[in-house]
């Protein structure tokens, strides 16, 4: 019942005291990240359509002058579409995840300070106000807002709920739920806060250790991808041109048609198309895998996939020599 009253009171307090207390007043609907993803998907579809029209001969867009129509311009627009889909959403979500990590990093320090203030006989609201004078990085501003709300007479459960709405991370939700229930049940809230702070710090240290161990695998993924690109460059610059030259020489010699020697060099240009498709598949797949291994988020993988795809496409299109 108390939790229901808190959630019913929060919107009214936000409307009444939002400008004075600095409440966020978030709007209902799609988040900014989802809006960016939708816009990126629309742009990606448009680029793919333009590529198909270019392949059909309706338009004549060439990112590499003098190349002419064919599959290469279509692949270029497909790659640009993938970049438009992954890059904005991936970098935005990665920035959001880093900000959340920095906020949650200082949460145990704040809880310990509140617990120490509570051990001197202060109530929970007074302990939060006293602890808000400290410095907690990105968390400082939100804590000061919560302290201002408490000084204005907002109930502590409501202030904690509004803090949870402004910092909607799973860890903050769990902490607010525990503190609210402990405060409603009575007893020594300081001991509860100390145990929660210790538990959060252990979880954070475990997550940091996991990321450090996974960083090795992410590095191996990047090294393997760039080794793949170097291998393609060596084959395209040295091996395949020699095969074309040898095949043309045999075709023009007296051995042509004798059946003694034959080289099917006419399929060499198709290998460059296969190389390009392989680079695209590896860049997207390896990038997403790297992000999932590092912190378990596909959005982080989109950031890695964007970097790999952009570098791989640029190398394949403008550095690796093509067969005529």
Predicted local confidence at residue 120, as pLDDT: 79
Residue with tokens 């793919």: 48
Beta-carbon contacts of residue 234 (< 8 Å; ≥ 6 apart): none
| Torsions phi, psi for 56 (to 5 deg) | -80, -10
Whole-angstrom Cα distance, residue 220 to residue 227? 10
Residue-wise pLDDT for 155-184, tens only, equals 888 888 888 888 878 888 888 888 888 888
pLDDT at 46 over 70: yes
Beta-carbon contacts of residue 213 (< 8 Å; ≥ 6 apart): none
The mean pLDDT value of the chain amounts to 80
Question: Which whole number is the average pLDDT over 113-139?
Answer: 85
Q: Taking the domains of the chain in order of start, what are their residue ranges?
A: 31-102, 107-187, 206-251+261-318
Residue 161: is it exposed, middle or buried by C-beta count within 10 angstroms (0-12/13-18/19+)? buried
Predicted local confidence at residue 265, as pLDDT: 57
pLDDT at 225 over 70: yes
Predicted local confidence at residue 64, as pLDDT: 65
Residue-wise pLDDT for 142-152, tens only, equals 888 888 888 88
Residue-wise pLDDT for 6-40, tens only, equals 444 444 444 434 443 334 444 456 788 889 999 99
């Amino acid at each position: 019942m108390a939790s229901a009253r808190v959630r019913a009171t929060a919107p009214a307090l936000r409307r009444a005291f939002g400008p004075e207390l600095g409440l966020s007043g978030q709007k209902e609907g799609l988040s900014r990240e989802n809006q960016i993803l939708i816009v990126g998907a629309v742009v990606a579809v448009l680029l793919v359509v333009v590529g198909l029209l270019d392949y059909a001969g309706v338009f004549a867009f060439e990112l590499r002058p003098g190349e002419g129509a064919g599959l290469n311009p279509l692949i270029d627009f497909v790659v640009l579409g993938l970049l438009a889909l992954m890059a904005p959403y991936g970098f935005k979500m990665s920035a959001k995840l880093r900000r959340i990590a920095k906020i949650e990093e200082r949460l145990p320090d704040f809880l310990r300070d509140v617990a120490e203030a509570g051990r001197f006989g202060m109530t929970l609201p007074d302990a939060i106000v006293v602890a808000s004078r400290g410095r907690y990085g990105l968390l400082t501003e939100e804590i000061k807002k919560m302290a201002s709300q408490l000084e204005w007479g907002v109930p502590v459960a409501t202030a904690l709920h509004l803090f949870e709405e402004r910092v909607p991370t799973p860890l903050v939700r769990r902490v607010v739920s525990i503190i609210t229930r402990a405060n409603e049940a009575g007893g020594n809230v300081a001991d509860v806060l100390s145990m929660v702070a210790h538990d959060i710090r252990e979880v954070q240290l475990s997550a940091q250790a996991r990321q450090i161990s996974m960083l090795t695998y992410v590095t191996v993924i990047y090294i393997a991808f760039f080794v793949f690109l170097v291998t393609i460059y060596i084959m395209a610059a040295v091996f395949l041109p020699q095969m074309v030259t040898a095949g043309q020489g045999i075709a023009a010699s007296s051995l042509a048609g004798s059946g003694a020697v034959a080289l099917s060099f006419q399929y060499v240009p198709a290998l460059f198309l296969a190389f390009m498709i392989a680079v695209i598949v590896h860049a997207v797949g390896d990038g997403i895998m790297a992000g999932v291994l590092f912190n378990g988020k596909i959005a982080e993988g989109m950031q890695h996939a964007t970097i790999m795809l952009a570098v791989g496409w640029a190398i394949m299109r403008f550095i690796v020599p093509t067969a005529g």
